[in-house]
Amino acid sequence: MGVSDVALELVDSRNPIATRSRKLERAAEKLGVPILVVINKADLIPRRVAEAWREWFEEQGLRAVYIAAQRRMGTRVLRRVIKDVAGRGQITVSVFGVPKVGKSTLINILKGRHSARTSPYPGSPGYTTHAQVYKIGGGIYLIDSPGILPPESGGVEAIIRSAPVDSIKNIIQVALELMKTILQHNPYAFLEAYGIESRDPDEILRELARMRGWLYKRDKEPIIEEAAKAIIRDYLAGKISYFFMPPRPEGSPG
Ligand SMILES: Nc1nc2c(ncn2[C@@H]2O[C@H](COP(=O)(O)OP(=O)(O)O)[C@@H](O)[C@H]2O)c(=O)[nH]1
Ligand SMILES: [Mg+2]
């Protein structure tokens, strides 16, 4: 991080609190590197909610923008704010975040087809062998290797972002808990994602397994473990939407 002029901290718009890294923010402050919070997957939440999260981060002294990297939405604003945060001249940007927030997706769209790979210029020690530097226009240089941060939140978000789905223990319990949280905030989440009308997590798992034909040969019972894995994968891939509003600052009315 020391070599960059701006550190992008990607968070997931569906749960910015669970996907932010206070450790990164503190380390950046110590090094004097400005953080720009990038609220990604904003296509999954209403614009007014994305705007509320942006303001919530800015009230905490962090610049913030929202984007939908996969849809190439918001990247023009992102470039403008990067320059605003870094000031004039050549700017080196690096990308940080917990797993599955969209770091690789963002790096790829910023690199684009036309960006030129450049040799690291003087003043970028440590990146000479491990990462490439891409010139992405407007005097911005992007370090193409993301900083992967361990989740700090605990709970289900940390579990599903800490290991591949196939190696998570108690996968059914984990999926049920994730589904409960999602349903609490969006009762239609699984109707929208799969066309399943039930709002009961157990029933949704069974229904999804039946729909996909994941049945035990012997008794044709649904293999709910497969459905649990599919839901966690689809959630991480940004195919299931829910949102909640940022908490109000302490002491504010209502
Ligand atoms: N809905 C939605 N999904 C996204 C967006 N950006 C990335 N994703 C998906 O999120 C998943 C994780 O993205 P990836 O770039 O691999 O995350 P990384 O682990 O931080 O590098 C992938 O399935 C992406 O397609 C977005 O803006 N919207
Ligand atoms: Mg990646």
- Could you tell me which of 83, 119, 100 has the C-alpha nearest to residue 10? 100
Q: Please name the residue whose Cα sits nearest to atom 11 of ligand 1.
A: 237
Report the amino acid identity of residue 135: K
Strand partners, 222: 215
- pTM of the full predicted structure? 0.93
Structural contact between residues 11 and 65, judged by C-beta atoms closer than 8 angstroms: no
Cα–Cα distance list, 174 to 13, 180, 227, 234 (Å): 21, 10, 12, 14
Would you say 185 and 13 are in contact if contact means Cβ atoms under 8 Å apart?
A: no
**Percentage of the chain surpassing pLDDT 70?**
91
Ligand nearest to the CA of 149: 1
Identify the residue whose tokens are 């984990």.
174
Q: Is 201 left (phi over 0), alpha (psi -120 to 50) or beta?
A: alpha
pLDDT tens-digit series, residues 201-235: 999 999 999 999 999 999 999 999 999 999 999 99
Pocket of ligand 1 (CB under 6 A): 40-41, 43-44, 68-71, 97, 99-105, 146, 236-238
Neighbours of 6 (CB within 10 A): 23
Nearest CA to ligand 1 atom 28: 41
Cα angle 27, 29, 34 (rounded to 5 degrees) comes to: 110
84-126 tens-digit pLDDT:
999 888 999 999 999 999 999 999 999 987 666 665 554 555 4
Q: What is the full DSSP assignment across the chain? A: -TT-SEEEEEEETT-HHHH--HHHHHHHHHHTPPEEEEEE-GGGS-HHHHHHHHHHHHHTT-EEEE-BGGGTBSHHHHHHHHHHHH-SS-EEEEEEESTTSSHHHHHHHHHTTTPEEEPPPTT-TT-TTT--EEE-STTEEEE-S-EE----S-HHHHHHTTS-GGG-TTHHHHHHHHHHHHHHH-TTHHHHHH------HHHHHHHHHHHHT-B-TTT--B-HHHHHHHHHHHHHTT-S----PPPPPTT---
- CA of residue 49 to ligand 1 center, whole Å: 19
Name the residue of 21, 70, 165 whose CB sits within 8 Å of the most ligand 1 atoms, as the mutation to test its pocket: 70
Domains recognised in the chain with CATH numbers: 6-148 (3.40.50.300), 163-236 (1.10.1580)
Distance 214 CA to ligand 2 centre (A): 29
Per-residue pLDDT reduced to its tens digit, 47-60: 999 999 999 999 99
For ligand 1, atom 14: residue with the closest CA: 102
Distance between Cα 69 and ligand 1 center (Å): 7
Q: What is the pLDDT of residues 118-165, one digit of tens each?
A: 655 545 554 445 678 999 988 999 999 999 999 999 999 999 999 999
